[in-house]
Amino acid sequence: MATAMIADIHRIEERNPNGVNILLCGGRDSLNMALLPWKRPTLIYSALPNFPLVQQFVADNGLKYEVRELKELDVPRTSVGESLEGLGRVDLQHFRWTGQLRQVASEEGTGAIFWKGQLGCVLLTEFWRRYLLYPRTAKGVTMWAWRRMVKGRTNVVVRAIDHATAKDLGCALWEKGAAVQGVHMGFLRAFCDCLVLSAYHGPNVQRVWQNVDLARAAFVDLRPTIGKQLLGRQVKYPVTNPGGPPKASERAGLHRIEVLTAALREAGIAVEPV
């Protein structure tokens, strides 16, 4: 896995000789990206509440990267454009810091490359089993109630769904992963006009996924082991992960069908009822 990640990032760097790597860091998935042997200039951006933890991670592990804080900027934005780009696929309140990221991309010119640690926790920990269940319901149990049942009972759930298959995971990644993280990457690509990539989705890493039986491999958190391979010694990670920031309230409702329909008509696109 470590070798595959290195091969993938170097492939991108070789194809973008003027590239500037901008790592968007929060939890362990993205923190491990900071351990990769980048050849091009590399910056790390993080936001509260994880920002100070990312700073400490860089210091504790002797990394030489500058860590900059992401903040919401009061910049002009168009709700019509954002609604069209989201196309009703996901609640846009989860998309943050677009103004500053656009500014960063503009400052770095055409060489800016945003890197995200998309879905690393799903594929490198036993969380992939629970991830299968989240988009679904079981015997009439709502998603919210199911999460309450699962919380604190990881081992029971893991044993209960040993029948889960790679096909099931593929469906879940398509239905949920692509519909959230994938849309966000496309959203940034559209508004920042630069490459937006995941260190866990390059061709070499994909070959690893295709040749691994997750049920036998990812039954513990593999990220510290991969981090040790990348750094060459034990990695010191933050002891907590406070999670994401509050939602972007200014984007509330932009994914609703009536808002999207109005945005389409405003853009001159005919919308007919079915």
CA-CA distances (angstroms) from residue 263 to 84, 179, 180?
6, 20, 21
Condensed to tens digits (0 to 9), the pLDDT of residues 177-222 reads 777 788 888 888 988 889 999 999 999 998 988 888 776 777 788 9
Residue corresponding to tokens 């780009």: 85
The letter for the amino acid at 222 is: L
| CA separation for the pair 269, 261 (Å, rounded) | 9
Question: For residue 70, what are the β-bridge partners?
Answer: 47
**5/89: higher pLDDT:** 5
The CA angle 203-209-214, to the nearest 5 degrees, is: 170
Q: Dig out the tokens for 272 from the structure.
A: 């007919």
Q: What pLDDT is attached to residue 167?
A: 60
What distance in Å separates the CA atoms of residue 235 and residue 52, rounded to the nearest whole number? 17
CB 97 within 8 A of CB 70: yes
Structure tokens at 30: 């993205």
Q: What percent of the chain has pLDDT over 70?
A: 81
Beta bridge partners of 68: 45
C-beta of residue 212 within 8 angstroms of C-beta of residue 134: no
Q: How far apart are CA 262 and CA 274, in angstroms?
A: 16
Strands 67-70 and 112-116: unpaired
What mean pLDDT value characterizes the chain?
Answer: 82
> For residue 150, what are its two tokens?
């699962």
How far is it, in rounded angstroms, from Cα 124 to Cα 120? 6
CA 52 distance to own-chain centroid = 19
Any idea where the domains of the chain sit in the sequence? 2-125+180-266
What element of type H or E holds 24? Answer: strand 20-24
Query: Based on C-alpha coordinates, what's the Rg of the chain?
Result: 20
Dump the DSSP string for 106-159: HHHGGGEEEEE-TTHHHHHSTHHHHHHHTTS-BTTB-HHHHHHHHTT-HHHHHH
| Contact status, residue 24 vs residue 218, Cβ threshold 8 Å | no
- Cβ neighbors of 263 (< 8 A, separation 6 or more) are 79, 80, 83, 84
Tens digit of each residue's pLDDT (9 = 90 or more) over 74-133: 665 677 888 888 888 788 888 888 888 989 999 887 789 999 998 888 888 877 766 665
| pLDDT at position 93 | 81
- How far is residue 269's CA from residue 200's CA, in Å, rounded to a whole number? 36
Residue 227: C-alpha distances to residues 92, 119, 151 (Å): 32, 16, 27
Is pLDDT at 164 greater than 60 in this prediction? Answer: no
Q: Could you read off the pLDDT of 27-47 as tens digits, one per residue? A: 999 999 999 999 999 999 999
Three-state SS at 98 = helix
Class of domain 2-125+180-266: alpha beta
CB of 259 closer than 8 Å to CB of 83: yes
Q: What is the pLDDT of residue 146?
A: 43
